[in-house]
A and B are shown apart, each in its own frame.
Chain A
């Protein structure tokens, strides 16, 4: 069975500071990993995903994430926070033994950006 743990349900960052959102997963098979963003009263939008190949993945809006198999992690970063980054962020994993795309989502991390 797969599972996802997001450390910290709320993160507050200053505008211009580094954004770091932590995601650890458990999976018995090589995982596919995703980060989604949810702005208030909207659906989820894909930020980036890791399937195979390069372990550093770049996404939209200046975000990137690194797949570290030895640490079972897929942390999301952005060098400089912008006010528009205030949203909820979800990490998800798929790729179970039946190899179809059923997702397991983390509980989410709410990001607040302060001026």
Chain B
């Protein structure tokens, strides 16, 4: 098992550009999540999905979009990138999303918007 994989590892965007962060998991997990991590702030939930075709907003969804067409993939789309979106982005997954289920994290994508 590769677990949760994310591409790219690093990216620099200019203000106003768009990009898609890719996330794939091979554990047949139903739940998938996107977080952003800013220094001293912990992780904030951007979007999550409870299964293919079902997504919902998290704590900080503005400026982002997601889709979930398959169980394995959960891409995060940034439209009109802004400096405030400079962050490290983590994708995670869990089997059923029950309260006690742990989340498995990808290695992250470090994004800089200038």
A-side interface residues toward B, CB under 8 Å? 4, 9, 32, 34, 36, 41-46, 49, 51-52, 90, 94-96, 99-103, 105-108
Contact = CB atoms under 8 A, between A and B. Distances in A.
Nearest to A9: B40
B96 to A, nearest CB: 8
Given A90-B43, A107-B40, A108-B42, A101 B99 contact: yes
Contacts of A106: 42
Contacts of B101: 101
A95 B92 CA distance: 17
Interface in B42-86: 42-43, 45, 48, 50, 58
| Interface-centre pick from B4, B58, B94 (highest chain A CB count, 10 A) | B94
Interface of B: 4, 31, 40-43, 45, 48, 50, 58, 90, 92, 94, 96-108
| Interface-centre pick from A45, A103, A107 (highest chain B CB count, 10 A) | A103
A43 B105 contact: yes
A45 B92 CA distance: 11
A101 B102 CA distance: 8
B27 to A, nearest CB: 14
A98 to B, nearest CB: 9
8 contacts: A36-B105, A44-B92, A90-B42, A95-B99, A100-B50, A100-B99, A101-B97, A107-B42
Nearest to A91: B42
